[in-house]
Amino acid sequence: MEFKAELNNRVDYIEKIISEFLPIEEGKQKLIFEAMNYSVLAGGKRLRPMIMMEVAKLFNNFGQEVKPFMVALEMIHTYSLVHDDLPEMDDDDYRRGRLTTHKKFGHAMGVLAGDALLNYAYEICAEAIIYSQDMHAAARAFEILAKRAGAYGMVGGQTVDVLSCDNELDRDTLDFIYKKKTSALLEAAMSIGAVLAGANEEQLVLVEKMGNKVGLAFQIQDDILDVIGNSEVIGKPVLSDEKNKKTTYVSLYGVEKSKEISKALMEEAIGILDFLGENEFLKQLFISLIDREK
Ligand code: GRG
């Protein structure tokens, strides 16, 4: 089957799984459930749950146990976008082609929807651990998720990003931000897929390395799209980095050199993938991430 068709099949499959876990919109706090569901159902690429699933398949073991973690990770990713769009951060009105959560539901609900999604993700994981056949692996997956999402991971990267506003950054600091802000959740997707599928410690080290490289390449492509992308295709305004005076790979090296760097990183990641096993779809997915238009 053609890659695009396989990709669409997987997105449909993942959206079905996500919908099974969404809260029912009822009760006195109905509005928060509406804001949570609005945010999650806005139609992203579902990249992180997809990668988690494909890495589990790479180790020949994609089972029921992975599904709650796929959903939890997408909820954490969504919360980060909801909060990132708030006026105190990037102050964006549009995301994924629709009004951002705080624009649709008001500022307080934007904050609360993000908080609720983060907590809901952990509620799902805790329940998954209780009912798991392999509680140790499930608890380890939970630890990876929490650490990669928190102050040692994504939140840490976002912190340095916010503090760096208006300052010109060196490559080292920029890499710190990208490895935490962007790579951490992609790395979590891969490590959790591997842990739940029973990968050994050596394999886990390689999986983490692969995640790191994919994350960095993905973020560099994000920098490139902010300059040469089409805002209608991306679903949000372009040239925001320049407007916000942000240092990016493009501001440091220009578009062409940035493309070369992201391509080289992705080739290294694919080298690791090939060493670990066979998953042609995952390889195509990695390649598509540096060719993507949104
Ligand atoms: C607010 C704690 C906190 C963190 C925010 C995720 C993030 C950190 C900021 C969003 C802005 C940004 C450029 C993040 C880098 C990661 C990235 C490119 C996210 C977008 O991920 P996609 O493209 O989004 O997978 P979709 O919409 O497809 O799900």
Q: What is the Å distance from ligand 1's center to 102 Cα?
A: 16
Tell how far the Cα of 186 is from the centroid of ligand 1, in angstroms. 11
- Domain span at residue 221 reads 2-291
193-202, 219-228, 235-244, range with the lowest pLDDT: 235-244
Query: CA 275 to CA 210: how far, in whole Å?
Result: 11
User: Taking the model in full, what pTM does it have?
Assistant: 0.95
CATH code of residue 38 = 1.10.600.10
Query: Would you state the pLDDT for residue 20?
Result: 97
If pLDDT is split at 50, 70 and 90, which confidence band does 72 have?
very high
Distance CA 208, CA 197 (A): 15
The tally of domains found in the chain comes to 1
- pLDDT band for 74, please (50, 70, 90 cuts): very high
Q: Which atom of ligand 1 is nearest to the CA of 47?
A: 25
Closest by Cα among 141, 156, 285, 148 to 214: 285
Which residue ranges have their beta carbon within 6 Å of ligand 1? 44-45, 47, 80-81, 83-84, 96, 154-155, 158, 181-182, 219, 222
* Cβ neighbours around 140 below 10 Å, total: 17
CA of 134 to the centre of ligand 1 (A): 31
Percent of the chain clearing pLDDT 70 (strictly above):
98
275 CA distance to ligand 1 middle (Å): 29
**Band of the pLDDT at 90, cuts 50, 70, 90?**
confident
Report pLDDT digits (tens) over 124-140.
999 999 999 999 999 99
Kindly report which listed range (50-64, 182-196, 242-256) carries the lowest average pLDDT score: 242-256
